[in-house]
Protein backbone atom coordinates (compact mmCIF):
# COMPACT_ATOMS: atom_id res chain seq x y z
CA UNK A 1 0.00 0.00 0.00
CA UNK A 2 2.96 2.32 0.52
CA UNK A 3 3.41 2.36 -3.26
CA UNK A 4 -0.09 3.73 -3.92
CA UNK A 5 -0.22 7.19 -5.53
CA UNK A 6 -0.29 9.80 -2.79
CA UNK A 7 -1.23 13.42 -2.24
CA UNK A 8 0.67 15.26 0.47
CA UNK A 9 -0.73 17.67 3.02
CA UNK A 10 1.98 20.03 4.19
CA UNK A 11 3.16 20.10 7.78
CA UNK A 12 1.51 22.67 10.03
CA UNK A 13 2.70 24.35 13.19
CA UNK A 14 1.09 21.49 15.11
CA UNK A 15 0.97 18.48 12.77
CA UNK A 16 3.54 16.69 10.62
CA UNK A 17 3.10 16.34 6.86
CA UNK A 18 0.82 13.51 5.87
CA UNK A 19 0.58 11.42 2.69
CA UNK A 20 -2.95 10.43 1.67
CA UNK A 21 -4.15 8.01 -1.01
CA UNK A 22 -5.15 9.81 -4.20
CA UNK A 23 -8.48 7.97 -4.08
CA UNK A 24 -10.50 8.05 -0.89
CA UNK A 25 -14.04 7.11 0.05
CA UNK A 26 -17.08 9.38 -0.05
CA UNK A 27 -20.26 8.75 1.94
CA UNK A 28 -22.86 11.04 0.39
CA UNK A 29 -26.28 9.27 0.47
CA UNK A 30 -25.08 6.68 2.96
CA UNK A 31 -27.24 6.24 6.03
CA UNK A 32 -30.41 7.01 4.08
CA UNK A 33 -31.67 3.43 3.59
CA UNK A 34 -30.81 3.54 -0.11
CA UNK A 35 -28.58 0.50 0.42
CA UNK A 36 -28.53 -2.02 3.26
CA UNK A 37 -26.59 -0.51 6.15
CA UNK A 38 -24.44 -3.60 6.52
CA UNK A 39 -23.39 -3.26 2.86
CA UNK A 40 -22.34 0.35 3.41
CA UNK A 41 -20.36 -0.56 6.52
CA UNK A 42 -18.73 -3.51 4.77
CA UNK A 43 -17.84 -1.34 1.74
CA UNK A 44 -16.08 1.26 3.87
CA UNK A 45 -14.17 -1.43 5.75
CA UNK A 46 -13.17 -3.09 2.49
CA UNK A 47 -11.93 0.27 1.27
CA UNK A 48 -9.69 0.60 4.30
CA UNK A 49 -8.34 -2.86 3.55
CA UNK A 50 -7.63 -1.76 -0.03
CA UNK A 51 -5.69 1.31 1.12
CA UNK A 52 -8.47 3.85 0.62
CA UNK A 53 -7.91 5.24 4.09
CA UNK A 54 -9.37 8.72 3.61
CA UNK A 55 -13.06 8.65 4.55
CA UNK A 56 -15.10 11.79 3.87
CA UNK A 57 -18.49 12.49 5.40
CA UNK A 58 -20.59 15.42 6.68
CA UNK A 59 -23.25 16.25 9.21
CA UNK A 60 -25.50 17.06 6.21
CA UNK A 61 -25.39 13.54 4.76
CA UNK A 62 -28.51 11.76 5.91
CA UNK A 63 -28.85 14.29 8.75
CA UNK A 64 -25.95 12.60 10.48
CA UNK A 65 -26.84 9.11 9.26
CA UNK A 66 -23.73 8.81 7.13
CA UNK A 67 -21.55 9.72 10.11
CA UNK A 68 -23.22 6.93 12.08
CA UNK A 69 -22.41 4.45 9.30
CA UNK A 70 -18.82 5.67 9.34
CA UNK A 71 -18.64 5.26 13.09
CA UNK A 72 -19.82 1.68 12.78
CA UNK A 73 -17.31 0.97 10.01
CA UNK A 74 -14.42 2.38 12.04
CA UNK A 75 -15.25 0.54 15.25
CA UNK A 76 -12.01 -0.95 16.51
CA UNK A 77 -9.95 0.50 13.68
CA UNK A 78 -10.18 4.28 13.99
CA UNK A 79 -6.41 4.60 13.58
CA UNK A 80 -6.65 3.03 10.12
CA UNK A 81 -8.55 6.02 8.73
CA UNK A 82 -7.92 9.67 7.91
CA UNK A 83 -11.36 10.95 8.88
CA UNK A 84 -12.94 14.05 7.34
CA UNK A 85 -16.27 15.67 8.14
CA UNK A 86 -17.97 18.94 7.31
CA UNK A 87 -20.07 21.53 9.14
CA UNK A 88 -23.12 23.33 7.79
CA UNK A 89 -22.43 27.05 7.14
CA UNK A 90 -24.99 28.00 9.80
CA UNK A 91 -23.08 25.83 12.26
CA UNK A 92 -19.81 27.68 11.64
CA UNK A 93 -20.11 30.25 14.42
CA UNK A 94 -17.88 30.87 17.39
CA UNK A 95 -19.83 28.42 19.54
CA UNK A 96 -22.07 26.59 17.06
CA UNK A 97 -19.05 25.09 15.27
CA UNK A 98 -17.89 23.60 18.56
CA UNK A 99 -21.30 22.03 19.16
CA UNK A 100 -21.56 20.76 15.57
CA UNK A 101 -18.13 19.15 15.71
CA UNK A 102 -18.83 17.51 19.06
CA UNK A 103 -22.09 16.11 17.68
CA UNK A 104 -20.23 14.66 14.68
CA UNK A 105 -17.62 13.12 16.96
CA UNK A 106 -20.33 11.54 19.06
CA UNK A 107 -22.08 10.03 16.03
CA UNK A 108 -18.79 8.53 14.84
CA UNK A 109 -17.65 7.38 18.29
CA UNK A 110 -14.30 9.11 17.99
CA UNK A 111 -12.40 11.76 19.93
CA UNK A 112 -11.04 13.66 16.96
CA UNK A 113 -11.26 14.42 13.25
CA UNK A 114 -8.19 14.48 11.06
CA UNK A 115 -9.77 17.22 8.95
CA UNK A 116 -12.83 19.41 9.53
CA UNK A 117 -14.31 21.42 6.68
CA UNK A 118 -16.74 24.30 6.31
CA UNK A 119 -19.18 22.71 3.85
CA UNK A 120 -19.81 25.86 1.80
CA UNK A 121 -19.56 29.64 2.31
CA UNK A 122 -22.29 31.12 4.43
CA UNK A 123 -23.29 34.24 6.30
CA UNK A 124 -21.14 33.80 9.39
CA UNK A 125 -17.91 35.83 9.19
CA UNK A 126 -14.95 33.65 8.29
CA UNK A 127 -12.81 35.05 11.09
CA UNK A 128 -15.37 33.73 13.56
CA UNK A 129 -15.21 30.29 11.94
CA UNK A 130 -11.42 30.36 12.05
CA UNK A 131 -11.56 31.18 15.76
CA UNK A 132 -13.83 28.18 16.37
CA UNK A 133 -11.63 25.88 14.30
CA UNK A 134 -8.57 26.98 16.26
CA UNK A 135 -10.36 26.26 19.53
CA UNK A 136 -11.26 22.80 18.26
CA UNK A 137 -7.65 22.20 17.24
CA UNK A 138 -6.29 23.40 20.56
CA UNK A 139 -8.71 21.07 22.35
CA UNK A 140 -7.54 18.11 20.26
CA UNK A 141 -10.91 17.63 18.54
CA UNK A 142 -9.59 18.37 15.04
CA UNK A 143 -6.09 18.19 13.62
CA UNK A 144 -6.52 20.31 10.50
CA UNK A 145 -9.25 22.44 8.96
CA UNK A 146 -10.28 23.20 5.42
CA UNK A 147 -13.18 24.36 3.29
CA UNK A 148 -15.50 23.04 0.60
CA UNK A 149 -17.16 24.70 -2.40
CA UNK A 150 -14.99 27.83 -2.14
CA UNK A 151 -14.23 29.64 -5.39
CA UNK A 152 -11.18 31.83 -5.96
CA UNK A 153 -12.51 35.03 -4.41
CA UNK A 154 -13.84 33.20 -1.37
CA UNK A 155 -10.73 31.19 -0.64
CA UNK A 156 -8.53 34.23 -1.26
CA UNK A 157 -10.58 36.15 1.31
CA UNK A 158 -10.13 33.29 3.78
CA UNK A 159 -6.42 33.12 3.12
CA UNK A 160 -6.01 36.82 3.87
CA UNK A 161 -7.35 36.44 7.42
CA UNK A 162 -5.21 35.66 10.44
CA UNK A 163 -4.82 31.88 10.50
CA UNK A 164 -6.51 31.44 7.14
CA UNK A 165 -3.29 30.32 5.50
CA UNK A 166 -3.49 27.13 7.58
CA UNK A 167 -6.39 25.94 5.41
CA UNK A 168 -5.34 22.44 4.40
CA UNK A 169 -7.64 21.66 1.48
CA UNK A 170 -10.57 22.83 -0.63
CA UNK A 171 -13.17 20.19 -1.54
CA UNK A 172 -14.87 20.96 -4.85
CA UNK A 173 -16.81 19.21 -7.59
CA UNK A 174 -14.41 17.94 -10.25
CA UNK A 175 -14.73 15.48 -13.09
CA UNK A 176 -13.96 15.24 -16.78
CA UNK A 177 -17.24 16.94 -17.72
CA UNK A 178 -16.83 19.74 -15.19
CA UNK A 179 -13.35 21.25 -15.49
CA UNK A 180 -14.03 24.87 -14.61
CA UNK A 181 -11.74 24.85 -11.57
CA UNK A 182 -8.74 24.30 -13.87
CA UNK A 183 -8.81 27.91 -15.14
CA UNK A 184 -8.42 29.97 -11.96
CA UNK A 185 -9.07 28.01 -8.77
CA UNK A 186 -6.59 25.15 -9.17
CA UNK A 187 -3.76 27.49 -10.25
CA UNK A 188 -4.42 29.67 -7.17
CA UNK A 189 -4.31 26.63 -4.93
CA UNK A 190 -1.21 25.22 -6.60
CA UNK A 191 0.69 28.42 -6.01
CA UNK A 192 0.07 27.85 -2.32
CA UNK A 193 0.56 24.06 -2.47
CA UNK A 194 -3.01 23.46 -1.29
CA UNK A 195 -4.44 20.17 -2.60
CA UNK A 196 -8.00 19.78 -3.86
CA UNK A 197 -10.44 17.07 -2.90
CA UNK A 198 -12.69 16.28 -5.85
CA UNK A 199 -16.22 15.13 -5.14
CA UNK A 200 -18.50 13.53 -7.74
CA UNK A 201 -15.44 12.33 -9.72
CA UNK A 202 -17.65 9.89 -11.62
CA UNK A 203 -19.93 12.72 -12.76
CA UNK A 204 -22.69 11.83 -10.32
CA UNK A 205 -23.70 15.50 -10.22
CA UNK A 206 -23.06 19.06 -11.24
CA UNK A 207 -24.70 21.49 -13.64
CA UNK A 208 -22.07 20.71 -16.28
CA UNK A 209 -22.31 16.93 -16.00
CA UNK A 210 -22.62 14.75 -19.03
CA UNK A 211 -23.19 11.05 -19.47
CA UNK A 212 -19.49 10.42 -19.13
CA UNK A 213 -19.60 6.73 -18.33
CA UNK A 214 -21.44 6.07 -21.60
CA UNK A 215 -19.50 8.54 -23.72
CA UNK A 216 -18.15 6.76 -26.84
CA UNK A 217 -14.63 8.19 -26.48
CA UNK A 218 -14.50 7.35 -22.78
CA UNK A 219 -15.69 3.82 -23.52
CA UNK A 220 -13.18 3.45 -26.36
CA UNK A 221 -10.22 4.59 -24.28
CA UNK A 222 -11.28 2.42 -21.34
CA UNK A 223 -11.52 -0.59 -23.65
CA UNK A 224 -8.04 0.14 -25.04
CA UNK A 225 -6.67 0.12 -21.48
CA UNK A 226 -8.76 -2.89 -20.43
CA UNK A 227 -10.36 -0.93 -17.58
CA UNK A 228 -13.86 0.34 -16.83
CA UNK A 229 -15.08 3.80 -17.74
CA UNK A 230 -15.31 4.61 -14.03
CA UNK A 231 -11.67 3.66 -13.51
CA UNK A 232 -10.67 5.87 -16.43
CA UNK A 233 -12.52 8.85 -14.92
CA UNK A 234 -10.88 8.29 -11.55
CA UNK A 235 -7.42 7.91 -13.07
CA UNK A 236 -7.97 11.13 -15.02
CA UNK A 237 -9.12 13.09 -11.96
CA UNK A 238 -6.03 12.14 -9.94
CA UNK A 239 -3.55 12.27 -12.85
CA UNK A 240 -0.14 13.66 -11.90
CA UNK A 241 0.82 17.14 -13.05
CA UNK A 242 4.15 18.64 -14.05
CA UNK A 243 5.28 20.92 -11.23
CA UNK A 244 8.66 22.50 -11.97
CA UNK A 245 9.84 19.33 -13.66
CA UNK A 246 8.29 16.98 -11.10
CA UNK A 247 5.97 14.96 -13.31
CA UNK A 248 4.89 12.57 -10.56
CA UNK A 249 3.38 15.02 -8.10
CA UNK A 250 -0.37 14.76 -7.54
CA UNK A 251 -2.58 17.32 -5.83
CA UNK A 252 -6.15 16.06 -6.35
CA UNK A 253 -7.80 13.45 -4.15
CA UNK A 254 -10.93 11.86 -5.65
CA UNK A 255 -13.61 10.68 -3.23
CA UNK A 256 -16.12 8.42 -5.02
CA UNK A 257 -18.88 6.82 -2.99
CA UNK A 258 -19.34 3.06 -3.24
CA UNK A 259 -21.81 0.97 -1.28
CA UNK A 260 -20.70 -2.40 -2.65
CA UNK A 261 -17.36 -4.09 -2.06
CA UNK A 262 -16.85 -4.87 -5.75
CA UNK A 263 -17.22 -1.18 -6.62
CA UNK A 264 -14.74 -0.33 -3.88
CA UNK A 265 -12.24 -2.78 -5.34
CA UNK A 266 -12.68 -1.27 -8.79
CA UNK A 267 -12.08 2.23 -7.38
CA UNK A 268 -8.95 1.06 -5.61
CA UNK A 269 -7.65 -0.52 -8.82
CA UNK A 270 -7.85 2.88 -10.51
CA UNK A 271 -4.83 3.90 -8.42
CA UNK A 272 -2.74 1.64 -10.62
CA UNK A 273 -3.91 3.12 -13.94
CA UNK A 274 -1.42 5.36 -15.78
CA UNK A 275 -2.63 7.68 -18.53
CA UNK A 276 -0.09 8.73 -21.14
CA UNK A 277 -0.04 12.05 -22.97
CA UNK A 278 -1.88 10.67 -25.98
CA UNK A 279 -4.81 9.51 -23.87
CA UNK A 280 -4.97 12.84 -22.07
CA UNK A 281 -4.99 14.66 -25.41
CA UNK A 282 -7.87 12.47 -26.62
CA UNK A 283 -9.84 13.28 -23.48
CA UNK A 284 -9.03 16.98 -23.83
CA UNK A 285 -10.37 16.90 -27.38
CA UNK A 286 -13.60 15.28 -26.24
CA UNK A 287 -13.95 17.40 -23.09
CA UNK A 288 -11.93 20.60 -23.55
CA UNK A 289 -10.47 22.43 -20.57
CA UNK A 290 -12.01 25.83 -19.80
CA UNK A 291 -10.93 28.83 -21.84
CA UNK A 292 -12.05 31.32 -19.23
CA UNK A 293 -13.34 31.61 -15.69
CA UNK A 294 -16.52 29.61 -15.14
CA UNK A 295 -18.96 29.68 -12.19
CA UNK A 296 -18.05 27.10 -9.57
CA UNK A 297 -20.01 23.90 -10.22
CA UNK A 298 -21.78 22.81 -7.04
CA UNK A 299 -24.28 20.14 -6.03
Rounded to whole angstroms, the Cα distance separating 52 from 44 reads 9
The CA-atom distances, in angstroms, between 41 and each of 50, 57, 75, 115 are 14, 13, 10, 21
The CA-atom distances, in angstroms, between 266 and each of 15, 23, 232 are 32, 11, 11
DSSP-derived letter for residue 47 is: H
Rounded to whole angstroms, the Cα distance separating 4 from 19 reads 10
Q: Supply the angle between the helices 261-269 and 37-49 in degrees, to the nearest 10.
A: 30
Query: DSSP string covering 220-235, please?
Result: HHHHHHTS-HHHHHHH
Which active-site residues does the annotation give?
A: 61
Burial per residue of 86-99, b for 16 or more beta-carbon CB atoms within 10 angstroms, e otherwise: bbbbebbbeebbbe
Return contacts of 221-224, CB within 8 angstroms, 24+ apart. Answer: 221/279, 221/282, 221/283
Rounded to whole angstroms, the Cα distance separating 208 from 158 reads 27
Amino acid sequence: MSSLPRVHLAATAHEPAVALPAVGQGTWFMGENLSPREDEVRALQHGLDQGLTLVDTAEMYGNGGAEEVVGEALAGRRDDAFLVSKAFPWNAGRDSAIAACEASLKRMHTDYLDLYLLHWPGGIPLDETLEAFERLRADGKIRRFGVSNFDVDEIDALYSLAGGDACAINQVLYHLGSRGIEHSLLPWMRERRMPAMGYCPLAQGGGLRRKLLDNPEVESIAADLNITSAQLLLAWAIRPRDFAGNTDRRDVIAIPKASQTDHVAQNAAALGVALDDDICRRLDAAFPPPRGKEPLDIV
